[in-house]
């Protein structure tokens, strides 16, 4: 006996998604719940896969089982396939496990030929309907099954209608019959085959076409983009036709059981009277809102309303349904979970809990953390957007929308901002010395750099929109303008960015500010109930810390002390420190920076009262703080009273072939211990000061880029010595921790040793990704997109953690660190801390907390809750 390839709808259910595909399982489940569904059957995904395995032929028994199932439909409908006296017509639809718009469209009215057409005409006493149905069928079959260019048919139709002088409905039965004949000639000419008049032949060809569509270009592209496996196969659904176009007591429509835009709990949809489903989708006529149905067919509407609620309750989620009314009888054709906006997702999830339909756990798992970005940032007014001209699209580096006047210089940006102007800073790429300009700007636009470039990281940290790596920009600093795809924007002209989509627009566009609903707050509260992993924020200045705290951050996981080095005049002292020849000179310069850093830390401690604040000692290569062109060097030389040549030669001596692997991180503090001393002093003085205000402070001092325990040890000793001395002096003792970043493979591999000294680890997954994969985030733009496109990598490893490689080191480091020190706190403070898939991984790896940019804190909270709830969310 051959395998069971075919399931009647009543034989399946929702759990059989793998075998029957989403649509098949859905219709089966609907059938099972007693909803009126036209009878039919599903050919399994296995049949599709087998079709490919055996070289594009039907597997043994498939056709026999299909004919058998067809008999069942015939029995249920009382109609017979191919019988001119009472013909059964069917639809044929593809349906894979995951919804795939890229696959085969539906073929309707299959079973029609000239004989059954005439039978239909007689039966319905409506020759025009029959002729129209036949015309539609030949057209669809020709296009979808036989692959004839759709334009060819449209052209004939268009001509028949006098090029827009008449409507579809104006065409007579005779005209339609003639059009169908012309269609058949086109098919013969283009596809080289006769249009099959035999209904069984039609069915056989349509099933094969569905199978083939699984490997069509569009379907493969869709799967690649949406990361769907190629070996799932598609099901084929064959279902008795019902007709929404059998008169004014017939109709067809689509609806959501709740509003998918804002989540409000009313049925939301539209329908067309006397039409087939394709008319709704194609937008040929303007459909009516579903509420009209209540007036025109109150009983049918009530039945529909009850079924909608029944389906929603059955599936415990908003449903997106298709229905047809045939001569006053309601048929449900399809149901599936409804796609919705983030705002709707939140409201619906919370409402369903209140209605007792789902649990809080389910609600928390229902909302895609990624989607929260929509809720947290301003967006371009959707109305304005429609008419906007997109200049170019870069990387969506930091979400949100903003308009401002184009400015190409950070100093000018700062200056204009103080005069109340809104500006957009446009740079080839940004460097730490541009920081003040970024602070002043509404948003940042760069021509170079990736999702973790300086501009992107800093912008996300500040919650400012940023479009990075817009390679089409040709920036001319000298003339203060940018040319992009033929348009030139001069300094002072308005531009608008959408950091969520990466789009750049000319001109000023209105934006809408999102308001966080009480439902959102409620959902996040529930998330926190289930969440077991901590969520902190990366924040360098008190304002960011406050924002982070308002978003629910439970501490600071990373304060990059050097981000304060560019503020105001302090950069001069920093440069003096770098140019110093002796420890004494260095100390002198550091003494100027110390009180400023202390002030910064005091602000952070106050903002984070009662919560831990992790402060990283100086990390970047020193040359990042020095000017690069001769003019600026000259200015600095004059200011500091130091010889131009000396500064120039110092800058030259700090030049590195590979700064990422160079003189940075703890290497700075080891060679110049006085820097670490100063920073430790600023931290503990600030802690003592704030503690005296009655505020609870929890400093955690973090040493970066440690590879050997022998690097951490001397730095730890400096920190502890400074703390001891200051506490003795102040007569106060403040508990604190000393720990390290784990951002080099060697650190992870020798975590057992490093944990002898470190009281906490924080995985710096940005740098760990760079070193583990030998991949510079600044330079990989040349090939990384191609890598992802060609499936060499499934994701950009700087956005979603490479679990097999970098993740392995995270696991190794965590396990070995805790083997030495069971109480070890282990966090992560790379960009991955705000990526839901990565957060799930960190949860599995047993991390104590993740730390991300302030605006990603809610995302991380929700993702961490979902991870704790133990289900990988798969909303496809």
**Rounded least distance, CB 781 to its own copies, Å:** 9
Q: Of 466, 559, 666, 829, which residue is the catalytic one?
A: 829
CA angle 39, 45, 49 (to 5 degrees): 145
**Rounded least distance, CB 503 to its own copies, Å:** 24
Q: How many CA atoms lie within 13 A of 544 on its CB side?
A: 30
Q: Is the dihedral of CA 217, 222, 225, 231 positive or negative?
A: negative
Q: How far is CA 267 from the centre of its chain?
A: 28
Q: What is the DSSP string of 83-147?
A: -TTSEE-EEEEEEESS--TTS---EEEET--HHHHHHHHHHHT-HHHHHHHHHHHHHHIIIIIS-
Q: Residue 412 or residue 716: which is nearer to its own copies going by CB?
A: 716
- Span interacting with its own copies, options 178-186, 274-282, 555-563, 654-662, rule CB under 8 A: 654-662
Containing H/E element for 603?
A: helix 583-607
List all residues 6 or more positions away from 658 whose beta carbon is below 8 Å from its beta carbon.
none
Residue 749 touches its own copies, criterion: CB under 8 A = yes
**Rounded least distance, CB 741 to its own copies, Å:** 11
Residue 88 touches its own copies, criterion: CB under 8 A = no
Contact string 753-772 vs its own copies (x = CB under 8 A):
x-------------x--xxx
Residue 658 touches its own copies, criterion: CB under 8 A = yes
Q: Residue 450 or residue 465: which is nearer to its own copies going by CB?
A: 450
Rounded Cα–Cα distance for residues 715 and 730 (Å): 23
Q: Residue 528 or residue 795: which is nearer to its own copies going by CB?
A: 795
Q: Which of residues 432-461 bind its own copies (CB under 8 A)?
A: none
Rounded Cα–Cα distance for residues 287 and 189 (Å): 36
151-158 CB contacts, 8 Å cutoff, 24+ apart? 152/186, 152/190, 153/183, 153/186, 156/182, 156/183, 156/186
Residue 389 touches its own copies, criterion: CB under 8 A = no
Containing H/E element for 178?
A: helix 173-191
Residue 711 touches its own copies, criterion: CB under 8 A = yes
- Span interacting with its own copies, options 117-125, 328-336, 786-794, 851-859, rule CB under 8 A: 786-794
Contact string 788-807 vs its own copies (x = CB under 8 A):
--xxxx--------x-xxx-
Q: In the annotation, is 163 catalytic?
A: no
Q: Which of 89, 209, 254, 809 binds its own copies (CB under 8 A)?
A: 809
Give the Å distances, CA to CA, from 33 to 14, 251, 257, 258, 312: 11, 23, 17, 20, 12
Tell me if 518 sits within 8 A of 541, measured CB to CB.
no
Q: Residue 101 or residue 774: which is nearer to its own copies going by CB?
A: 774
Q: How far is CA 36 from the centre of its chain?
A: 37
Q: Which of 126, 787, 800, 844 binds its own copies (CB under 8 A)?
A: 787
Contact string 317-346 vs its own copies (x = CB under 8 A):
------------------------------
Q: Is the dihedral of CA 773, 776, 779, 781 positive or negative?
A: positive
- Span interacting with its own copies, options 36-44, 595-603, 675-683, 738-746, rule CB under 8 A: 738-746
Structure tokens at 260: 């998918």
Q: Which of residues 713-732 bind its own copies (CB under 8 A)?
A: 714
Pick from 216, 137, 153: nearest CA to 187:
153
Q: In the annotation, is 48 catalytic?
A: no
Rounded Cα–Cα distance for residues 104 and 97 (Å): 14
Q: Which of 263, 745, 830, 834 binds its own copies (CB under 8 A)?
A: 745
Contact string 260-289 vs its own copies (x = CB under 8 A):
------------------------------
**Rounded least distance, CB 756 to its own copies, Å:** 14
Which parts of 192-297 fold into alpha helices (H)? 199-213, 217-226, 277-282, 290-296
Pick from 305, 213, 175, 237: nearest CA to 28:
237
**Rounded least distance, CB 712 to its own copies, Å:** 10
Q: Is 540 left (phi over 0), alpha (psi -120 to 50) or beta?
A: alpha
Tell me if 404 sits within 8 A of 424, measured CB to CB.
yes
Residue 779 touches its own copies, criterion: CB under 8 A = yes
Residues shown for the chain:
876
Q: Residue 8 or residue 793: which is nearer to its own copies going by CB?
A: 793
Q: Residue 759 or residue 778: which is nearer to its own copies going by CB?
A: 778
**Rounded least distance, CB 184 to its own copies, Å:** 44
DSSP 57: S
- Span interacting with its own copies, options 42-50, 124-132, 191-199, 780-788, rule CB under 8 A: 780-788
Residue 648 touches its own copies, criterion: CB under 8 A = no
| DSSP helix/strand/coil, 548 | helix
Q: Residue 43 or residue 741: which is nearer to its own copies going by CB?
A: 741
Structure tokens at 227: 């990361």
Q: Which of residues 169-198 bind its own copies (CB under 8 A)?
A: none
Q: Which of 21, 437, 499, 707 binds its own copies (CB under 8 A)?
A: 707
- Span interacting with its own copies, options 99-107, 204-212, 278-286, 667-675, rule CB under 8 A: 667-675
- Span interacting with its own copies, options 101-109, 116-124, 314-322, 651-659, rule CB under 8 A: 651-659
Q: Of 48, 314, 377, 454, which residue is the catalytic one?
A: 454
Residue 660 touches its own copies, criterion: CB under 8 A = yes
Rounded Cα–Cα distance for residues 579 and 573 (Å): 10
Q: Residue 390 or residue 428: which is nearer to its own copies going by CB?
A: 428
**Rounded least distance, CB 471 to its own copies, Å:** 10
Q: Which of 663, 696, 870, 876 binds its own copies (CB under 8 A)?
A: 663
Q: Residue 267 or residue 675: which is nearer to its own copies going by CB?
A: 675
Tell me if 655 sits within 8 A of 623, measured CB to CB.
yes
- Span interacting with its own copies, options 4-12, 21-29, 598-606, 783-791, rule CB under 8 A: 783-791
DSSP 168: G
- Span interacting with its own copies, options 77-85, 455-463, 524-532, 650-658, rule CB under 8 A: 650-658
**Residue 355, number of CB atoms within 10 A of its CB:** 11
**Rounded least distance, CB 708 to its own copies, Å:** 6
Tell me if 585 sits within 8 A of 594, measured CB to CB.
no
Q: Residue 507 or residue 805: which is nearer to its own copies going by CB?
A: 805
Q: How many CA atoms lie within 13 A of 349 on its CB side?
A: 27
Residue 581 touches its own copies, criterion: CB under 8 A = no
**Rounded least distance, CB 474 to its own copies, Å:** 11
Q: Which of 782, 822, 823, 874 binds its own copies (CB under 8 A)?
A: 782
Q: How far is CA 626 from the centre of its chain?
A: 38
Q: Is the dihedral of CA 562, 566, 572, 575 positive or negative?
A: positive
Rg (CA), the chain: 33
Which parts of 706-807 fold into alpha helices (H)? 709-730, 745-749, 751-754, 765-773, 784-789
CA angle 673, 592, 692 (to 5 degrees): 90
Residue 780 touches its own copies, criterion: CB under 8 A = yes
Tell me if 427 sits within 8 A of 444, measured CB to CB.
yes
Number of residues lying near its own copies (CB under 8 A):
50
Q: Which of 671, 731, 823, 874 binds its own copies (CB under 8 A)?
A: 671
The catalytic site residues sit at: 454, 829
Binding site for its own copies (CB under 8 A): 656-663, 665, 667, 670-671, 705, 707-708, 710-711, 714, 743-746, 749-750, 753, 767, 770-776, 778-780, 782-783, 786-787, 790-793, 802, 804-806, 808-809
């Amino acid at each position: 006996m051959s395998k069971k390839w075919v399931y009647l709808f009543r034989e399946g259910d929702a759990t059989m998604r793998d075998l029957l595909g989403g649509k098949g399982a859905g219709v089966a489940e609907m059938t099972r719940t007693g909803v009126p569904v036209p009878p039919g059957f599903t050919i399994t995904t296995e049949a599709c896969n087998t079709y490919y395995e055996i070289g594009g032929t039907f597997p043994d028994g498939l056709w026999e089982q299909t004919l058998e199932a067809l008999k069942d439909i015939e029995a249920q409908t009382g109609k017979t396939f191919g019988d001119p006296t009472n013909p059964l017509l069917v639809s044929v639809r593809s349906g894979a496990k995951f919804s795939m718009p890229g696959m085969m469209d539906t073929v309707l009215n299959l079973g029609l030929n000239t004989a059954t057409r005439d039978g239909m005409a007689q039966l319905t006493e409506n020759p025009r309907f029959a002729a129209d149905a036949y015309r539609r069928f030949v057209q669809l079959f020709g296009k979808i099954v036989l692959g004839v260019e759709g334009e060819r048919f449209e052209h004939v139709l268009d001509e028949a209608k006098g090029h827009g002088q008449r409507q579809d409905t104006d065409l007579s039965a005779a005209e339609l019959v003639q059009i169908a004949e012309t269609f058949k000639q086109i098919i013969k000419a283009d596809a080289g085959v006769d249009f099959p008049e035999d209904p069984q032949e039609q069915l056989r060809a349509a099933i094969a076409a569905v199978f083939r569509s699984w490997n069509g270009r569009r379907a493969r592209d869709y799967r690649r983009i949406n990361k769907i496996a190629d070996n799932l196969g598609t099901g084929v659904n064959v279902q008795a036709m019902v007709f929404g176009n059998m008169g004014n007591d017939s109709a067809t429509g689509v609806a959501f059981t709740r509003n998918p835009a804002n989540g409000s709990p009313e049925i939301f949809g539209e329908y067309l009277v006397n039409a087939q489903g394709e008319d709704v989708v194609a937008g040929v006529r303007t459909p009516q809102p579903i509420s009209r149905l209540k007036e025109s067919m109150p009983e049918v509407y009530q039945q529909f309303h009850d079924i909608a609620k029944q389906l929603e309750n059955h599936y415990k989620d908003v449903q997106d349904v298709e229905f047809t009314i045939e001569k006053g009888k309601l048929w449900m054709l399809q149901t599936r979970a409804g796609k919705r906006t983030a705002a709707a997702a939140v409201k619906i999830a919370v409402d369903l809990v209140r209605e007792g339909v789902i649990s809080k756990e389910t609600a928390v798992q229902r909302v895609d953390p990624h989607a929260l970005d929509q809720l947290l940032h301003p967006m371009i007014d959707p109305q304005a957007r429609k008419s906007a001209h997109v200049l170019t699209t870069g990387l969506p580096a930091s979400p949100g929308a903003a308009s401002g006047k184009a400015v190409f210089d950070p100093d000018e940006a700062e200056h204009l901002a103080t005069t109340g102007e809104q500006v957009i800073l446009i740079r080839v790429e940004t460097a730490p010395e541009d920081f003040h300009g970024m602070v002043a700007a509404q948003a940042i636009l760069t021509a170079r750099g990736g999702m973790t470039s300086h501009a992107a990281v800093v912008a996300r940290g500040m919650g400012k929109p940023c479009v990075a790596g817009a390679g089409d920009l040709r920036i001319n600093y000298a003339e203060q303008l940018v040319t992009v795809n033929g348009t030139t924007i001069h300094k002072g002209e308005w531009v608008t960015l959408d950091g969520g989509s990466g789009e750049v627009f000319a001109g000023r566009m209105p934006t809408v500010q999102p308001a966080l609903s009480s439902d959102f707050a409620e959902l996040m509260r529930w998330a926190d109930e289930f969440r077991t992993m901590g969520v902190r924020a990366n924040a360098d200045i008190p304002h960011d810390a406050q924002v982070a705290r308002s978003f629910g951050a439970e501490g600071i996981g990373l304060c990059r002390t050097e981000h304060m080095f560019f503020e105001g005049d302090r950069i001069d002292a920093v440069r003096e420190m770098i140019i110093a020849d002796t420890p004494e000179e260095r100390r002198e310069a550091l003494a100027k920076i110390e009180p400023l850093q202390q002030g910064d830390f005091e602000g952070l401690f106050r903002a984070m009262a009662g919560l831990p604040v992790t402060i990283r000692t100086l990390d970047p290569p020193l040359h990042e703080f020095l000017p690069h062109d001769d003019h600026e060097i000259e200015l600095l030389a004059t200011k500091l009273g130091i010889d131009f040549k000396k500064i120039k030669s110092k800058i030259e001596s700090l030049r590195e072939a590979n700064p990422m692997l160079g003189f940075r991180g703890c290497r700075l503090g080891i060679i110049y211990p006085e820097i670490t001393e100063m920073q430790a002093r600023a931290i503990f003085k600030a802690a003592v000061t704030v503690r005296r205000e009655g505020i609870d402070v929890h400093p955690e001092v973090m040493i970066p880029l440690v590879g050997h325990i022998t690097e951490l040890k001397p730095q730890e000793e400096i920190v502890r010595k400074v703390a001891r001395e200051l506490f003795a002096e102040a007569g106060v003792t403040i508990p604190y921790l000393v720990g390290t970043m784990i951002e080099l493979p060697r650190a992870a591999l020798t975590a057992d040793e490093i944990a002898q000294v470190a009281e906490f680890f924080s995985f710096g997954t940005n740098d760990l990704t760079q070193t583990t994969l030998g991949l510079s985030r600044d330079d990989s733009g040349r090939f990384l997109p191609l890598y992802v496109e060609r499936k060499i990598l499934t994701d950009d490893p700087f956005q979603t953690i490479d679990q097999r490689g970098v993740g392995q080191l995270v696991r190794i480091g965590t396990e070995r660190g805790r083997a030495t020190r069971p109480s070890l706190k282990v966090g992560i403070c790379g960009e991955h801390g705000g990526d839901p898939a990565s957060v799930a991984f960190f949860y599995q790896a047993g991390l104590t907390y993740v730390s991300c940019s302030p605006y990603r804190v809610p995302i991380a909270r929700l993702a961490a809750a979902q991870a704790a709830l133990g289900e990988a969310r798969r909303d496809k």
